Chain A
Amino acid sequence: MRTLTYVQAIREGFAQLLASDPRVFVIGQGVWSPWYAGTSLQDMEKDFGRDRVIDSPVSENATTAAAIGAALAGMRPIVFHPRMDFMLLAVDPIVNQAANWSYIFGGQINVPMVIRAAINRGGEQGAQHSQALQAMFMHIPGLKVVMPATPFDAKGLLIAAVNDGNPVMYIDDRWLYGETGEVPEEIYEVSIGLAAIRRTGTDVTVVATSHMSAHAERAAATLESRGIDAEIIDLRSIKPWDRECVFNSVRKTGRLVIADAAWKTCGVAAEIAATVAGEVFDHLRAPISRVCLPDVPAPTSAPLEQAYYVGANHIVSAVEELLVRKEKAVAAGSLLPSSR
């Protein structure tokens, strides 16, 4: 199979959707420019015309709401927000309208639209060019949220999102654009709501979102060299998320670390932790640990940025801390039997 980068896989997904489905069109800021979408939409307007690939005025609200209206009228729009931060100007159409429309009209009508939101972190860009706001949208009934971490998923989840029939927020992370992986040439879907086990292990479960999934695999290699066997789950879909996959893993390992490169408070990791604690508590042999960003806006200066972001080493530390707790507990003679 061919190897593509993550950003090439996104582009191929867009191109195949536009070529195969006349209902699909793209609207958003910067879709004619490499400054905003990287190469993920490069020359798309040349291939499919400016009537179907529409660069827009600085009007996040109008373009997002227009995508809703077009979806209600039977189209399959993809609205592109090159930075999640700026997408906050479209919260009314996303939260009040797209998410509600099916429900408030008793399921008689649907909003088959995709909201592509890019996370554009790092690079001394600061507080308003770097936010990872998936938890805000995970909170809203009626929205689905996906965060592909591999080229295969980047294409397959985009296609699944367009075909889903509901408003789906598709969040890609610029830090993943250079990742490579095998991508089939044909058009295919990756099911929304299914996680992927990237590595099987027995000592600890690491559930990761988006680019933290790649960090988790690197962390697992380090941990292996230290005699710790980690199971890595790439969540892929944030909402709905694959509860059974996570539960089954926790039943096996008894320990859970959740890595989500977004703020900790009320985050994706908090939701998973609360659900696991509520549903499979008896299988837990240690407290649940979260690897997230501290509750502070993103700084600009490089040393502050370095202190702010999390990566593989943070996951390694979190796992080791859980296992140290075990040793301490053994020393104190208080370890509960693992059969508990």
Chain B
Amino acid sequence: MLQSHSVDVRAARPIIGASLLTTLFRSMTRIRTTEETIAELLDKNEIRCPTHLCTGQEAIAAGVCAALQKDDYIFGGHRSHGHYLAKGGDLRALMAELYGKATGCSRGRGGSMHLIAQEVGLLGTVPLVAATIPIAVGSALASKVRGDSRVSVAFFGDGATEEGHFHEAVNFAGLQRLPVIFVCENNLYSSHMHIRERRVKDNIVQAGDAHGVPGLRVDGNDAGVVYRTALDAVRRARSGRGPTLIECRTYRWRGHVGSSMDFDVGVKRKDELREWLSKDPVARARAALLEQGLHERALEEIESEVRAEIEDAVQFARDSAYPHGDELLEHVFFLEKS
């Protein structure tokens, strides 16, 4: 398991109370431990589908989803285990999906890159970069047309902002003042390419203003900051004042896909990683909680509960049955008329 050493806790400002920070800590710990367990299972070849881990980026999913209601909609991309878990997706069903089992959240048709948890508002994740940005605009449009108060969130990486999808979507959402929040997880890399190799300017946040939508750049490794920023955007969206673009600066500790570290790509990955390990969002929250007077034992209890839940989920996935080959043609079309 990847671990941070000397942690810079200065940024973990006490802008939220201990109770909420504990919730965020638990959510992030659940994501972190799940991702690092999956890394081990990938190395053992127990999990074989293409899997993109979000270790190091946990504060964004945790912070944003904590600001949402259960029936708010979210969409994600190829690196979305964190979004699934933070919104409340079932851990057993996630793990079973990675194993290709019939009990998986997508019944073994999706794998890591196609996750769904409708019961908590996650309507889908897909790996086509930027694809779900305008789709989230559409679920927000549904809310506007029928007059409900749901908010939609699109999670995407910095690479997605290079697609036309992104600009069309932000412009249209701004024009229609839709209740949607664009959450860019800028981890500095798109696959093997550092942002400096892909853009003249490191100015994703300005795309908001260019399309008439407020753009905010925040420390994406500080769950409290992410939460507070998201909460403002949620209130804005829910009250009919339109969309917000939030650029969360972060770093993915592992490589683009699988458990690899990708030290052979991009620029100075090793040096960068050392720096970013010191901004570990989970360790920061942990340190902040200790500072706020929580006992070490209480935090260890959370960590141990999370580990037990993950062990159970892995066992569930291992024990579950695969889908049958004779089900191959099912679900191409939806049969129930309504």
Contacts and interface: CB of A to CB of B under 8 A. Distances in A.
B331 A107 contact: yes
Interface stretch (B55-63, B133-141, B221-229, B304-312): B133-141
Contact of A74 (B108, B114, B135, B142): B142
A54 B143 CA distance: 15
Contacts of A56: 172
Contact of A73 (B123, B168, B171): B123
B118 A104 contact: no
Interface stretch (A89-97, A127-135, A271-279, A330-338): A89-97
A175 interface: no
Contact of B334 (A51, A70, A107): A107
B334 A166 contact: yes
B165 interface: yes
Contact of B134 (A54, A65, A103, A163): A65
A111 B330 CA distance: 16
Given A65-B137, A109-B124, A165-B335, 18 more contacts: A27-B141, A59-B171, A59-B172, A65-B135, A66-B169, A72-B124, A73-B73, A74-B142, A75-B145, A93-B134, A93-B135, A102-B334, A105-B124, A106-B110, A107-B107, A141-B332, A142-B332, A164-B337
Interface string B316-338: 00000000000000111111111
Contacts of B66: none
B152 A69 contact: yes
Interface in A58-114: 59, 61-75, 77, 92-93, 96-97, 100-112
B131 interface: yes
Contacts of A27: 141
A68 B138 contact: yes
A62 B128 contact: no
Contacts of A303: none
B143 to A, nearest CB: 7
A63 to B, nearest CB: 7
B145 A97 contact: no
Nearest to B115: A105
A199 interface: no
A252 interface: no
A122 B110 CA distance: 43
Contacts of A65: 131, 133-135, 137-138, 165, 169
Interface in A124-178: 141-142, 144, 163-166
Interface of B: 73, 75, 104, 106-110, 114, 116, 118, 123-124, 126, 128, 131, 133-146, 150, 152, 164-165, 168-169, 171-172, 175-176, 330-338
A57 interface: yes
Interface of A: 22-23, 25, 27, 51-52, 54, 56-57, 59, 61-75, 77, 92-93, 96-97, 100-112, 141-142, 144, 163-166
A273 to B, nearest CB: 24
18 contacts: A54-B176, A62-B134, A62-B169, A62-B172, A66-B137, A69-B134, A69-B136, A75-B146, A93-B135, A96-B126, A97-B131, A97-B135, A104-B114, A104-B124, A107-B107, A110-B334, A164-B337, A166-B334
Contacts of B136: 69
A57 B175 contact: yes
Given A65-B134, A75-B142, A108 B116 contact: yes
A96 B109 contact: no
A57 B142 contact: no
A52 B145 CA distance: 7
Contacts of B171: 57, 59, 62
Given A62-B169, A73-B142, A109-B116, A93 B131 contact: yes
A69 B337 contact: no
B133 to A, nearest CB: 8
A102 B124 CA distance: 10
A105 B75 CA distance: 13
B137 A106 contact: no
A88 to B, nearest CB: 13
A62 B168 contact: yes
A67 B333 contact: no
A67 B124 contact: no
B335 to A, nearest CB: 8
Contacts of A77: 138
B336 A165 contact: yes
A102 to B, nearest CB: 5
Nearest to B170: A62
A19 to B, nearest CB: 15
Nearest to B172: A62
Q: Which of B104, B138, B165 has the most CB of A within 10 A?
A: B138
Nearest to A101: B124
A27 B338 CA distance: 22
Nearest to A144: B333
A61 B165 contact: yes
A109 B334 CA distance: 8
Q: Which of B136, B169, B331, B334 has the most CB of A within 10 A?
A: B334
Contacts of B123: 69, 72-73, 109
A165 B338 contact: yes
Contacts of B109: 103-106
Contacts of A100: 126
Contacts of B104: 106
A103 B165 contact: no
B144 A59 contact: no
A69 B118 contact: no
Contacts of A166: 333-334
Contact of B333 (A74, A142, A163): A142
A291 to B, nearest CB: 30
Contacts of A61: 134, 164-165, 168
B128 A96 contact: yes
A57 B168 contact: yes
Nearest to B123: A72
Contact of B116 (A25, A93, A105, A142): A105
A171 B128 CA distance: 26
Nearest to B330: A107
